């Protein structure tokens, strides 16, 4: 599939309660690579196989949750075109200055109807994955440290007005709807899985009365064995596990949900399938949501619907 316009989730800034405890967690237990600290005290990380400077930014606060997330677009021409399209559709945008996030160019920022702050950007310094671009080996020491996911994969966000979010993603940003869950009466969509790529989702939303909530940030693992190994490492480090290891019916992803020390949920994930934009959307009825969430157990875990930051 030709990749133009919006490419991928590129960064997410989350709030953590104790910065140094979280730096230990994301650096040593998750096994992300620390790439910088800024004058605001924020700490930057990337997954070992990512090439750009960072994908996760931690900010210390007295309340956990998500500050904002950004998608990388192909180039500055795409950024300008998407900014114009957002404005034409009545979405107010502001430009965050280059350098406000370390090693990152200007970001076009806007509010989603669900209460989340989203950004698009075209430039972030490519620091590489530690492997040479000529004759690389398949892995290196950084891939063997802690859980060591290969990349930030997607986010699931909770908030109101997700039907309005869907319009922005489909009509302006050229995402397509891969899967959805219908309400009990079947007349509304209560959950959406959207892709801008060949991935089974790049972002997902669940309808929820409180705006701007984080359900989980998902990190991609190479294999099911590595998801199970992630579970071993969680237990060795007394990490609080929510659900799994199991498989979602929705997206077919194989998963563990767990919580970071601040209560932000994360997912170690692999699998799923590879949709194209011409595929028919997969629909789940409300009574099948339990197997959508946890296919083997067919269980709509209470925490899935209630615990968000
Ligand atoms: C994911 C995923 C539900 C499935 C969630 C799926 C809520 O988080 O990564 O595929 O049923
Ligand atoms: Fe997920």
- pLDDT tens across the length of the chain (309 residues): 678 999 999 999 999 999 999 999 999 999 999 999 999 999 999 999 999 999 999 999 999 999 999 999 999 999 999 999 999 999 999 999 999 999 999 999 999 999 999 999 999 999 999 999 999 999 999 899 999 999 999 999 999 999 999 999 999 999 999 999 999 999 999 999 999 999 999 999 999 999 999 999 999 999 999 999 999 999 999 999 999 999 999 999 999 999 999 999 999 999 999 999 999 999 999 999 999 999 999 999 999 889 999
Name every protein residue with a CB atom under 6 angstroms from any ligand 1 atom.
156, 218, 248, 250-251, 253, 267, 269, 292-293
Mutation choice for ligand 1 from 204, 247, 256, 288, CB with most ligand atoms inside 8 A: 204
216 part of the active site: yes
Residue 197, SS3 per DSSP? coil
44 part of the active site: no
Q: Which residues of 270-296 are buried (b: 16+ CB within 10 A; e: fewer)?
A: bbbeebeeeeeebebebebbbbbbbbe
Residue 248 alpha carbon to ligand 1 centre in Å: 6
Task: Give pLDDT, residue 3.
Answer: 85
Which candidate in 11, 201, 208, 215 is catalytic? Answer: 201
Task: Give pLDDT, residue 1.
Answer: 67
| Strand extents, DSSP E, the chain | 6-16, 33-37, 43-46, 56-60, 65-73, 94-96, 107-111, 117-121, 151-159, 176-182, 189-195, 203-207, 213-220, 240-247, 253-259, 265-271, 282-284
Q: Is the ipTM of this complex over 0.90?
A: yes
Kindly state which CATH superfamily the domain 6-144 is placed in.
2,3-Dihydroxybiphenyl 1,2-Dioxygenase, domain 1 (3.10.180.10)
Beta pairing partners, 295: none
Task: Give pLDDT, residue 2.
Answer: 77
201 part of the active site: yes
Asked whether the beta carbons of 120 and 108 are under 8 A apart, the reply is: yes
Task: Give pLDDT, residue 200.
Answer: 97
Write out the H or E segment, with its range, that includes residue 306. Answer: helix 302-306
Phi, psi of 82 (to 5 degrees): -70, -35
Give span(s): CATH 3.10.180.10, the chain: 6-144, 151-306
Architecture in CATH for domain 151-306: Roll (3.10)
Task: Give pLDDT, residue 237.
Answer: 98
Residue 132 alpha carbon to ligand 2 centre in Å: 31
Mutation choice for ligand 1 from 158, 162, 182, 193, CB with most ligand atoms inside 8 A: 193
301 part of the active site: no
Which whole-number Å values give the CA distances from 125 to 49, 128, 181, in the listed order?
A: 15, 9, 38
Whether omega for the bond prior to residue 245 falls within 30 degrees of 0, making it cis, is: yes
How many Å apart are CA 49 and CA 32, to the nearest integer? Answer: 10
How many Å apart are CA 45 and CA 71, to the nearest integer? Answer: 16
How many Å apart are CA 40 and CA 19, to the nearest integer? Answer: 12
**Tokens coding 296:** 């083997």
């Amino acid at each position: 599939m030709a990749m133009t316009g919006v490419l991928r989730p590129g960064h997410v800034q989350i709030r953590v309660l104790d910065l140094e405890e979280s730096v230990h967690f994301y650096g040593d237990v998750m096994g992300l690579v620390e790439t910088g600290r800024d004058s605001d005290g924020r700490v930057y990380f990337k997954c070992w196989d990512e090439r750009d400077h960072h994908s996760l930014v931690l900010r210390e606060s007295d309340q956990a949750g998500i500050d904002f997330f950004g998608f990388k677009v192909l180039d500055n021409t795409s950024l300008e075109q998407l900014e114009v399209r957002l404005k034409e559709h009545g979405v107010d945008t502001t430009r965050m200055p280059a350098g406000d996030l370390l090693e990152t160019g200007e970001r076009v920022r806007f509010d989603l109807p669900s209460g989340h702050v989203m950004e698009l950007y075209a430039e972030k310094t490519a620091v590489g994955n530690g492997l040479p671009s000529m004759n690389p080996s398949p892995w290196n020491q950084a891939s063997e440290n802690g859980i060591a996911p290969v990349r930030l994969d997607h986010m699931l966000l909770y908030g109101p007005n997700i039907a309005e979010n869907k319009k922005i993603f489909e009509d302006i940003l050229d995402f397509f709807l891969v899967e959805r869950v219908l309400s009990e009466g079947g007349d509304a969509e209560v959950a959406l899985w959207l892709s801008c790529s060949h991935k089974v989702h790049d972002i997902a939303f669940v309808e929820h009365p409180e705006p701007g909530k984080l359900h989980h940030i998902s990190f991609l693992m190479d294999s099911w064995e590595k998801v199970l190994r992630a579970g071993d490492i969680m237990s060795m480090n007394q990490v609080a596990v929510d659900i799994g290891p199991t498989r979602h019916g929705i997206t077919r992803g194989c998963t563990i949900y767990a919580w970071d020390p601040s209560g932000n949920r994360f997912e170690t994930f692999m699998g799923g399938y590879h949709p194209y934009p011409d595929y028919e959307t997969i629909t789940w009825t409300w009574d099948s949501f339990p197997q959508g969430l946890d296919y083997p157990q067919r269980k709509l875990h209470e925490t899935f619907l209630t615990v968000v930051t």
